[in-house]
Amino acid sequence: MSGAGFFDYGTDDAPEVRAPMFLGDASVEDWALLVDHCERRRFHRGEVVVHFGEVDRSLFIVIEGELETVAERRGRTRRLSPAPAGSVVGELGFLDGRPRSASVVAATDGELLRLSISSFESLAAMNPRLGRSLLFDLGRILAGRLRSLTEIVMSR
Amino acid sequence: MSRTDPFPNYLAMPRTVSLRFWHIVRFVSLAVFLAVIVGGIVRPTDTLTFFWGIVIPILPAVFLIAPGSWRNVCPLAAANQASRNLGVTSQVAAPKWLREHGFSIAATLFVGIALTRKVLFNRNGVALTVLLAAVLVGAALGGRFLKGKSGWCSSICPLLPVQRVYGQSPFVGVANSHCQPCLGCTKNCYDFNPRVAYVADMHDPDQGFRGPRRLFVGAFPGLVLGYFLVPDAGRLSDVQVYGRSLAWIAAGIAVFAVLDAFGRFSPNRLPPIFGAAAFSLFYWFGSRKVAKALGSLLGGRWTGIVWPVRIAAFALAAVWLVRSWLVERRYVEEVAVAAPVRVDLGRARTALGGSAGADDGAVEIEFESKIVKVSSGTTLLEAAESGELRIESGCRMGVCGADPVAVTSGYESLSPIRREEADTLERLGLGFPNRMACTARAEGSCSVSLQPDRTSTPLSNTPSFEPDPSVRRVVIIGNGIAGVTAADFVRRNHPDCEIELVGRESHELYNRMGVARLIHGRSAMQGLYLLPAGWYERNRVTLWLNTRVASIDRQGKTVRLGTGQELGYDRLVLATGGRATVPEIEGFGASGCFVLRDADDAIRIRAYAQEHDEHRAVVAGGGLLGLEAAHALHEFGMSVTVLERSSRLLRNSLDAAASEMLRSYFEALGIVVVTDAETVRVEGDGRVEAVVTAQGHRFETEILLVAAGVTPNLDLPRQCGLDVARGVIVDSSMRSTDPSIFAVGDLAEFEGRLWGLWPVAVTQAQIAAVNIAGGSRTYESGVPTMILKGVGLDVVSFGRVEPAEGEIQLTDRGEGGHTYRKVVVTGGVIVGGVFLGFGEHAQAAQDAYDSGRQLDDDEIARLAAGDWSPFGGRKDLAPTR
Ligand SMILES: Cc1cc2nc3c(=O)[nH]c(=O)nc-3n(C[C@H](O)[C@H](O)[C@H](O)COP(=O)(O)OP(=O)(O)OC[C@H]3O[C@@H](n4cnc5c(N)ncnc54)[C@H](O)[C@@H]3O)c2cc1C
Ligand code: SF4
Ligand code: FES
């Protein structure tokens, strides 16, 4: 498990901080193909980008501004985690197609890319290597979380 | 909404006191420090007592309660950061050895100094002076050369290891006032994110990083105990002092290691216990020393403070311990639930064409519910689809009428309206500011409503000829696009005649091209209808739905309906289209066998697949329709096999390379494509179990969908004795061999060809209508554009796709192996093209083809070199060779 996300120094040459990168190996051309398959849209502060419980198989990449994941528990809204520019959000619903487990709200104005599962399918068909690395990266990230969850269980 | 970030970094922490305040305090602390240095020589006894007996004993409590305040006040930090403040630091990144071993150096220094206290520093003022002067110079030099605090405070400062242990769950958070801005000099920087730094250290995946830090905290209580329990030098030799102290340390480490090895604890379970133990032990013994120091400096008896200090220290340590554990739990939850997944924004932004938000050839299209950003030249339809908005589509070329939208602002930044689109808008009764989304390309930002503006005044071109008064009754058979277009244009050109429109299906005109979506989509027929409500009444077209024409009496000029009624006509239009061709397939008709032509076919397939929970389908036929249907079944969730009789897909429209790519695209989607596979037999007992090919292969499946082409509906023309070959033979005015009877659409054969395409049906119907109403227009056949749509990859071909003698072809394969562009050129003029993907270039090349535009030598040279900028688009992404 790595907490490198808490040390986002905002500099380019941060030392040894290597948070797991999503599509770290993708070239600009790969990104261009990805962008071609994405919806690109602006969001406004306070806008609910993903609704809790909704079924929507898509993945979000924050390009500008900040989103945040919020969960409702016992009637109280709890902020789970901020998703600043450069974050990927919504991977669970994207992968399993089950209802969204949390809402995602815009903390600021900004812009995002949205990749729906069907666009992903044609992206992956067009460039299987890119499709595979996208899935692998998601898999790697989820594996990391699963490990952490194991730690939670063990530490109780 | 509560917005408490459990782990704010220093930039996000509230700043209760100003930076100025800290500057001043720092001067004071530096002055005190210098005073101690001087005092070590001039008044050694008091200085030693003050330093070791008062200052040092206070520090652990400060570290535990408000560690950030010490980070801001520490005189060594002030010395370290002086160069930065004065602007004279060289700010080089710390060398690798320092980054890797800084902590171990710091810990070693700390232990070394602590052990040496007994033999030297506690008693020798000069030694203390030298020590303090040395660390001051070290801190200052570190800051002179190295970046941020990496030259001292965050690397080799001997107090850093202690600060990190004790400061892991501050009671009072004090924001870092040094680093303005952060230079990212240190891994898991304490000053950057104090509440999380230590847990992050303990959870670090790198054993080499985590190890020394754990070793230190394990050693810490032993070090404290040893310091207080080993007698002072004087009673023991120096070597004995060191030896016994080290033994205590070793004992502490051993306890830690044993617990760590057998305890199955999470990484930061033990360290706070050891930290709390060290802290409590320190004050248990230290309280007495402090009392003594106070007594000797100020006089009087101070033993009264001993127990209160001990109790306070215990309580503090206990609360701190629990807090530290909770921090870890919270940390694990945060990281586990929400470890942010990051992307390389730089590359993403380059791909977006410059920094987001800047003017980068992107345009914003504001739909009611959201704003979609697309590159200039994108159609409104593509924009809406990329935003997953509810929009229908069919032809994607402006002729079917599926996607009218109202442009509420920025109308002028859209590409101009062409003929087909204008006709379609007119049929829909829509004028300014409406557009067909598929043919309106946004060259600038605009706002769009997906509901067309029905209050608009339709564009109308009044006919340029007098209507023929002898035509009073027009009967049209077939309520497809050919029949409806015929009715529409007869009405436009002939305001008075009666129009009867007879259709066998029970639906008003719908988008036949979109029926595949009924298989996988949820919205059923909604959205497939192409006419605004009341269209038939408004145009005074008498509509007979669910009514079949049974026969035609050419002498009596009447048609007989299946209901027995008769309708007389002056002009008759045959627009009965076609039905799905079913080749000789033994056993076809068992349940599970389908074709796809009408909306009802698609609805039946969806119902069947759900009722029987089927998950395998075979599509016989790899043409446009077969591929679209296969994709629809795949989207529905079935595993699909396409059986194509010939040796490759879309043989007549694609060259071999494009065919092969299309095939691999489908296979990559998970759709199996088998070529040279002619379906001849269905196996199963009343229900499909497998299909067998002429080649002898057997494919198990529960659903068979045959997509083998269209057979024109020729019963009526045959019955009434018109000339028919493969279709009803018509001349260029769309007349059959009976001058009162016209045939248009999928059943009309002109110059030996039947296209079976929507735009052809529209054009033919318009021409027939003009000729019926008294005008004169003739039809010219050309090779229409082939578009494969709805499969996630745009496939377009037009004209000749293989070069003839003396023609050249310019081809380019895109990255990933599934995109392709090719034009065939003769004497600078495009005579054909094939595109997989590259939609924008396809459109531009097709425009050049339609208009016969001459490409100049430079453009051809560029195309040959793989630079497709002559057809517009993003030059920055042109492949480099
Ligand atoms: C799934 C699918 C996808 C397609 N995709 C494309 C595409 O991408 N591009 C393209 O250009 N074309 C496409 N086509 C073809 C296009 O839909 C046809 O070319 C077009 O619909 C022809 O129109 P039509 O009016 O001539 O015939 P039809 O649409 O077949 O209409 C004929 C109507 O006449 C009725 N009728 C028949 N006999 C009688 C009778 N005796 N009495 C009364 N009514 C009768 C029929 O029920 C039918 O409603 C596609 C077709 C399908 C099925
Ligand atoms: S990492 Fe940033 S906050 Fe931490 S010491 Fe270096 S410059 Fe200061
Ligand atoms: S999809 Fe636009 S008119 Fe057919």
pLDDT at residue A68 above 80? yes
**Confidence class of residue B276 from pLDDT cuts 50, 70 and 90?**
very high
For residue B662, pLDDT beyond 80: yes
CA of B789, nearest ligand number: 1
Q: Each residue of B396-412: pLDDT tens digit? A: 888 888 899 999 998 98
Smallest CA–CA separation between A43 and chain B, in Å? 8
Give the nearest partner residue to A87 out of B93, B328, B341, using CB atoms.
B341
Quick one: B277 and B324 in the same domain? Answer: yes
Q: Cα of B153 to ligand 2 centre, how many Å?
A: 9
Cβ-Cβ pairs closer than 8 A, A with B, add up to 242
List pLDDT tens digits, range B336-374: 555 566 777 777 777 776 434 444 567 888 888 778 888
* Coil vs helix vs strand at B850: helix
Residue contact B1–A77, C-beta within 8 A: yes
Query: How many alpha carbons fall within 13 Å on the CB side of residue B101?
Result: 7
Please tell me the total count of domains within chain B. 5
Res A121 pLDDT > 80 = yes
- B52-61 per-position pLDDT tens digit: 999 999 999 9
Q: How confident is the model at residue B420 (pLDDT cuts 50, 70, 90)?
A: confident
Q: Is B394 in the pocket of ligand 3 (CB under 6 A)?
A: yes
Q: Give yes or no for B8 touching A (CB within 8 A).
A: no
Residue with the bigger pLDDT between B750 and B330: it is B750
- Please name the residue that has the structure tokens 């959201």: B370
Is B2 within a domain? Answer: no
Ligand 3 pocket, mutate which of B379, B392, B403 (most atoms under 8 A from CB) = B403
Q: Do A111 and B356 touch (CB under 8 A)?
A: yes
**What is the rounded average pLDDT of the residues B153-179?**
92
Report the alpha-carbon distance of residue A87 to residue A104 in Å, rounded. 12
Provide the pLDDT confidence category of residue A16 given band limits of 50, 70 and 90.
very low
Answer yes or no: is pLDDT of B288 > 80. yes
| CA–CA distance, B16 with B327 (Å, rounded to integer) | 23
Residue B533 has pLDDT above 90, yes or no: no
Q: Average pLDDT, whole number, for chain B? A: 88
Top-confidence residue, B434 or B818: B434
Tell me, what's the pLDDT at B358? 41
- Mutate which of B191, B195, B196 for ligand 2? The one with the most ligand atoms within 8 Å of its CB, which is B191
- SS3 annotation, chain A: CCCHHHCCCCCCCCCCCCCCEECCCCCHHHHHHHHHHCEEEEECCCCEEECCCCCCCEEEEEEECEEEEEEEECCEEEEEEEEECCEEECHHHHHHCCCCCCEEEECCCEEEEEEEHHHHHHHHHHCHHHHHHHHHHHHHHHHHHHHHHHHHHHCC
How far is residue B691's CA from residue B678's CA, in Å, rounded to a whole number?
10
Residue B84 confidence class, pLDDT cut points 50, 70, 90:
confident
Look at residue B16 in the predicted model and tell me its pLDDT.
Answer: 76
Touching check for B339 and chain A: CB below 8 Å? yes
Question: Residue B340: what pLDDT?
Answer: 61
Q: What is the DSSP letter of B459?
A: P
**What's the pLDDT band for B816 if we cut at 50, 70, 90?**
low
Instruction: Please give the distance, rounded to the nearest whole angstrom, from the Cα atom of residue B480 to the centre of ligand 1.
Output: 6
Q: Take residue B783 and report the two structure tokens written for it.
A: 């090779």
Is residue B371 within 8 angstroms of chain A, CB to CB?
Answer: yes
Q: For residues B350 and A30, what is the distance between their CA atoms, to the nearest angstrom? A: 11
Measured CA to CA, the distance from residue B143 to residue B878 in angstroms comes to: 48
Residue B662 lies in a domain: yes
Kindly indicate the confidence band of residue B220, based on its pLDDT and cuts at 50, 70 and 90. very high
Of A87 and B321, the structure prediction assigns the larger pLDDT to: B321
Distance, in Å, from the CA atom of B56 to the CA atom of B52, rounded to the nearest integer, reads 5
Which residues in chain A have Cβ-Cβ distances shorter than 8 Å to B7? 6
Residue B328, chain A, CB below 8 Å: the answer is yes
Q: How far apart are alpha carbons A59 and A94 in whole angstroms?
A: 6
Helix axes B419-427, B758-773, angle to 10 degrees: 70
Report the atom number in ligand 1 closest to the C-alpha of B394: 8
Q: Does B24 score more than 70 pLDDT?
A: yes
Per-residue pLDDT at B874:
41
Q: Give the residue-averaged pLDDT of B172-189.
A: 86
- Please indicate whether, in this complex, the C-beta atoms of B2 and A70 are within 8 angstroms of each other: no
Q: Looking at the complex, does the CB of residue B653 fall below 8 Å from at least one CB of chain A?
A: no
Tell me: pLDDT of B92 over 60.
Answer: yes
pLDDT band of residue B880 (cuts 50, 70, 90) is: very low
Residue B656 domain-assigned?
A: yes
**pTM value?**
0.65
CB atoms B187 and A26 under 8 Å: no
What pLDDT score was predicted for residue B823?
92
Residue identified by tokens 């192409």 is B530
Nearest to B51 by CA among B39, B64, B69: B39
Best CA proximity match to B111, nearest among B215, B5, B236, B237: B215
The answer to whether residues B234 and B92 belong to one domain is yes
Q: Tell me, what's the pLDDT at A102?
A: 82
pLDDT surpasses 70 at B714: yes
**Partner residues linked to B836 by β-bridges:** B795, B820
B791-813, pLDDT tens digit by residue?
Answer: 888 899 988 888 888 888 888 88
Can you tell me whether residue B856 is helix, strand or coil? coil
Residue B63 or residue B817, greater confidence: B63
Residues in chain A: 156
The reply to whether B691 and B809 lie within a common domain is no
B7 belongs to a structural domain: no
Question: What is the three-class DSSP state of B550?
Answer: strand
Is B13 among the domain residues? no
Residue B185 Cα to ligand 2 midpoint, Å, equals: 5
DSSP helix/strand/coil, B685: coil
Q: What is the distance in angstroms between the Cα of B369 and the nearest Cα belonging to chain A?
A: 11
Chain A residues close to B362, C-beta within 8 Å:
40
Residue contact A6–B9, C-beta within 8 A = yes
Tell whether B807 lies on the interface with A, counting CB pairs under 8 A. no
Among the candidates B690, B708, B726, a domain finishes at B708
Question: Is B118 inside a domain boundary?
Answer: yes
CA angle, corner B45, sides to B41 and B50, nearest 5? 100
The last residue of one of the domains, among B279, B309, B337, is B337
Higher pLDDT, B284 or A86: B284
Examine the domain organization and report whether B587 and B572 are in the same domain. no
Residue B457 lies in a domain: no
Contact list in B for residue A67 (CB cut-off 8 A) is none
Q: Is B317 in the pocket of ligand 2 (CB under 6 A)?
A: no
Question: What separation in Å is there between the alpha carbon of B856 and the centre of ligand 3?
Answer: 33
| CA B811/CA B654 separation, integer angstroms | 13
Tell me the best of B560, B746, B791 to mutate to test the pocket of ligand 1, counting ligand atoms within 8 Å of each CB and taking the most.
B746
DSSP B789-843: -SSSS-EEEEE-SS--TT-EEEEEEPGGGS-EEEEEEETTEEEEEEEES-HHHHH
Question: Of the candidates A38, A39, A83, which has its C-beta nearest B340's C-beta?
Answer: A83
Sorted by where each begins, the domain ranges of chain A are 28-154
Judge: B193–A86 Cβ closer than 8 Å, yes or no. no
Query: What pLDDT shows up at residue A3?
Result: 60
Question: Which ligand has the minimum distance to the alpha carbon of residue B710?
Answer: 1
Domain span at B485: 473-579+712-773
State the closest ligand 1 atom to the C-alpha of B549, by its place in the atom list counted from 1.
Answer: 42
- The answer on B47 and B178 residing in a single domain is yes
Residue B465 placed within a domain: no
Do the Cβ atoms of B187 and A15 come within 8 Å?
A: yes
- Measured in residues, chain B has a length of 881
Q: At residue B514, does pLDDT exceed 90?
A: no
Tell me, using a 6 A CB cutoff, whether residue B252 lines ligand 1: no
The answer to whether residues B260 and B145 belong to one domain is: yes
Q: Are residues B514 and B557 in the same domain?
A: yes
Confirm or reject contact between B99 and chain A (CB < 8 A).
yes
Is it the case that residue A20 has pLDDT exceeding 80?
no
Which residues have a Cβ under 8 Å from the Cβ of B845 and sit 6 or more positions away?
Answer: B821, B823, B830, B833, B835, B871
Residue A17 and residue B187 in contact, taking contact as beta carbons nearer than 8 Å: yes
CA distance B231 to B220: 18
CB contact under 8 A, B341 and A128: no
Residue B199 has, within 13 A of its CA and on its CB side, a CA count of 29
Q: Does B693 have pLDDT greater than 90?
A: yes
From CA B527, how far away is CA B840, in angstroms rounded?
26
A28-154 CATH? 2.60.120.10
Q: Based on the number of CB atoms within 10 Å of its own CB, is B858 exposed (0-12), middle (13-18) or buried (19 or more)?
A: exposed
Let me know whether B167 and B220 are in one domain: yes
Q: Is B300 exposed, middle or buried (0-12, 13-18, 19+ CB in 10 A)?
A: exposed
Question: Among A46-50, B338-342, B633-637, which is the least confidently predicted range?
Answer: B338-342
Residue of B nearest to A13 (CA): B184
Residues of B in contact with A11 (CB under 8 A): 182-184
Q: Residue B250 has what pLDDT?
A: 96
Ligand in closest contact with the CA of B512: 1
Q: Do B240 and B305 reside in the same domain of the chain?
A: yes
Q: Which of B3, B331, B792 sits opposite A118 (nearest CB)?
A: B792
Name, in order, each residue with C-beta under 8 angstroms of B163's C-beta and a sequence gap of 6 or more.
B63, B67, B70, B71, B190
What ipTM is given for this predicted complex? Answer: 0.73
Residue B485 Cα to ligand 1 midpoint, Å, equals 12
- pLDDT tens for residues A56-65? 888 999 988 8
**Ligand 2 pocket, B184 CB below 6 A?**
yes
For residue B408, the surrounding DSSP H or E stretch is strand B404-409
- B694 CA distance to ligand 3 middle (Å): 39
pLDDT band at residue A2 under the 50/70/90 scheme: low
Q: Which residue is closest in CA terms to ligand 1's atom 38? A: B576
Give the integer Cα–Cα distance in Å for B865 and B871: 14
Residues B501 and B544 in one domain: yes
Give the Å distance between the CA of B143 and the centre of ligand 2. 12
Task: End-to-end CA distance of chain B: give it in Å, rounded.
Answer: 54
The yes-or-no verdict on residue A12 having pLDDT over 60 is no
Q: Which of B659, B676, B708 is the last residue of a domain?
A: B708
* Residue pointed to by tokens 């380059």: B350
B325: nearest CA in chain A? A155
Q: Which residue has the higher pLDDT, A151 or B249?
A: B249
B471-480, B573-582, B800-809: lowest mean pLDDT where?
Answer: B800-809
- What's the pLDDT band for B449 if we cut at 50, 70, 90? very high
Over residues B156-173, mean pLDDT: 94
Q: What is the pLDDT of residue B114?
A: 94
